[in-house]
Chain A
């Protein structure tokens, strides 16, 4: 039995070496197959890296020591609403961290304004968020990169660097039209790659009056004393008879928010890749059929000399797999060099505004791409291999 297996392996080894040595002579067809598969993998990985990049921004935005409070029944802050007194009561809930000035709670409202995109010149929505004066203590990942924070009570805004990159006119010192007045851009900020970088921030009170919102807010963001207090915090708020609210950890909130877009891009990417993969399978099939046809005589000769049919099958499959792997590696490399870090913006369908992000070609995506190539290679090699195996030797020899 062992002897049998060793013999089989030796046969397979030598037949495979023979077929690999002939690749040079068939380099045209092989290159077509390799590049076809590389194309599929590159597109597959690139499209999925969009979804990864998008999700990355959304999860980056979350912080487990922060909670966001919405009116119950609203899935997004767009639909949420609190009166001024309600928002104050929320800020006083147990578990909220305090500074000398009071609870670390930012009462926020949110509008969208239209600005032309730098890339296309067409208008798109930019979130303009009004926050409490102590927002920088609550949103402690925010850093002013250039300029200074806005001063409460003035028509001043600060702009996230993602938004500044995406939109025309969001430069330090420039001004933008909000409501009836021009507001000055006094600072640019970063948020460790989070969603806030795609927004414009200002003083909530100024925004309320500019948009005639009275004393109303949409969300309250609080900093908790620790992530562990969240269940108690949530229980206290959601069972308070004075208002109907729901509390979410910021991390969960953002993952929720990104789900639609993530699934959409992933689904679309998989669909495009699947369609292209069908084409690549035919390319690989063609390559391997040609290879088998060109080698009918050699295969028949080897079989006449006593080589078994399964080593022939395996050698053809191995060759097809090898070409596919080459294609997969090439495609992954292309996707990595071209797309990793590539900057883009997309609609965040929950807030109907733009989210700036960078494509992320992660190691797991590269592995998925190579697996996809392997699959194409297997399918493309199987039929030609079986055909070669079924070839009756006597008949094949006389077809020469």
Chain B
């Protein structure tokens, strides 16, 4: 029996290094990272604290540039783009989900979700449609007019996810999305991410410390001492 042909990689990372300066010493956080992620994958990225998971995710999401090496998404190199082009690229290609949600407290849930759409050419009516759709996907239609402080942590994170998917980005990048939630709400979020991956075909890369969370992914990779591996290093 033939297995269906594998979809092409959507993310290709080659020989990526990242160094930081701290005073006079240089920290070699990432040392020769190679990684390919295919369309439709749900990758969990694990590793000890301080191993550079967030740093790697930032390079993939175009929030920072590698010291050396190449990062390409959908056949486009992003490691050389200027700040302005990177910002425009982020707006079209990535959705971020943060550990602490990062919602704007002065905006209601629906206006938070609308933010990335302000960077598109959609008119108000179309934006409203998209926002309603995203809120329905995360199951928060009835909380659209609530402010973040009126929502529980789990609900806030769902608003965060709605904001990340509202522009239908190429990649969904989540940095410890359940890190600040209790088990129950965390499981709800993981259910949601899994559904987005399985039913909507979203490509997701998720940083987590929690084996319970990584179990939901289609693949888990480990970062340790600046290197990636397919198995956890004891």
Beyond A22-B106, A298-B104, A394-B58, is A305–B119 a contact (Cβ under 8 Å)? Answer: yes
Q: Is the CB of A397 within 8 A of B104?
A: no
Beyond A297-B102, A398-B54, is A305–B116 a contact (Cβ under 8 Å)? Answer: yes
Contact partner of B91 among A21, A22, A306, A400, CB < 8 A? A306
- B96 CB within 8 Å of chain A: yes
Interface of A is mostly: helix
* A7 CB contacts on chain B under 8 angstroms: 119, 121
Q: Indicate the member of A301, A302, A303 with the most B CB atoms within 10 Å.
A: A301
* B215 CB contacts on chain A under 8 angstroms: none
CA distance A398 to B121 in the complex (A): 31
* A301 CB contacts on chain B under 8 angstroms: 98, 102, 104
| A9 smallest CB distance to B (angstroms) | 12
* A392 CB contacts on chain B under 8 angstroms: 64
CA distance A11 to B92 in the complex (A): 15
Q: Is the CB of B92 within 8 A of A306?
A: yes
* B118 CB contacts on chain A under 8 angstroms: 10-11, 14
CA distance A10 to B55 in the complex (A): 31
| B200 smallest CB distance to A (angstroms) | 20
Tell me how many residue pairs across A and B have CB atoms closer than 8 Å.
66
- A307 CB within 8 Å of chain B: yes
CA distance A21 to B106 in the complex (A): 7
- A64 CB within 8 Å of chain B: no
- A309 CB within 8 Å of chain B: yes
Total residues of chain A contacting the partner, CB 8 A: 26
Q: Indicate the member of B55, B64, B87, B90 with the most A CB atoms within 10 Å.
A: B87
| A305 smallest CB distance to B (angstroms) | 5
Contact partner of B83 among A14, A297, A309, CB < 8 A? A309
Within 8 A of B (CB), among A298-342: 298, 301-309
Interface of B is mostly: helix
CA distance A10 to B102 in the complex (A): 22
CA distance A21 to B63 in the complex (A): 27
Total residues of chain B contacting the partner, CB 8 A: 27
CA distance A14 to B107 in the complex (A): 12
- B232 CB within 8 Å of chain A: no
Question: B44-58 interface mask toward A, CB cutoff 8 Å, 1 = contact, 0 = none?
Answer: 000000000011001
CA distance A302 to B163 in the complex (A): 12
Q: Is the CB of B119 within 8 A of A306?
A: yes
- B88 CB within 8 Å of chain A: yes
- A393 CB within 8 Å of chain B: yes
- B100 CB within 8 Å of chain A: yes
Within 8 A of B (CB), among A1-51: 3, 7, 10-11, 14, 18, 21-22, 25
* B116 CB contacts on chain A under 8 angstroms: 305-306
Question: A273-315 interface mask toward B, CB cutoff 8 Å, 1 = contact, 0 = none?
Answer: 0000000000000000000000001100111111111000000
- B10 CB within 8 Å of chain A: no
Q: Is the CB of B106 within 8 A of A25?
A: yes
Q: Which residue of B lies closest to A25 (CB)?
A: B106
Q: Is the CB of B96 within 8 A of A18?
A: no
Q: Which residue of A lies closest to B102 (CB)?
A: A301
Q: Is the CB of B64 within 8 A of A305?
A: no
* A18 CB contacts on chain B under 8 angstroms: 104, 106-107
| B108 smallest CB distance to A (angstroms) | 11
Q: Is the CB of A397 within 8 A of B106?
A: no
Q: Indicate the member of A301, A305, A400 with the most B CB atoms within 10 Å.
A: A305
* A14 CB contacts on chain B under 8 angstroms: 115, 118
Within 8 A of B (CB), among A379-394: 392-394
* 3 tightest Cβ-Cβ pairs between the two chains A and B: A306-B91, A394-B64, A301-B102
Q: List 14 extra interface pairs beyond A11-B118, A305-B119, A400-B102, CB under 8 A.
A: A7-B119, A7-B121, A11-B119, A18-B106, A18-B107, A301-B104, A304-B102, A306-B89, A306-B119, A307-B91, A397-B63, A397-B98, A397-B102, A400-B100
A and B contact pairs by CB, cutoff 8 A, 26 listed: A3-B121, A7-B119, A7-B121, A18-B104, A18-B107, A21-B107, A298-B104, A301-B102, A303-B87, A304-B61, A304-B63, A305-B90, A305-B163, A306-B90, A306-B91, A306-B92, A306-B119, A307-B119, A308-B88, A392-B64, A393-B63, A393-B64, A394-B58, A397-B58, A397-B102, A400-B100
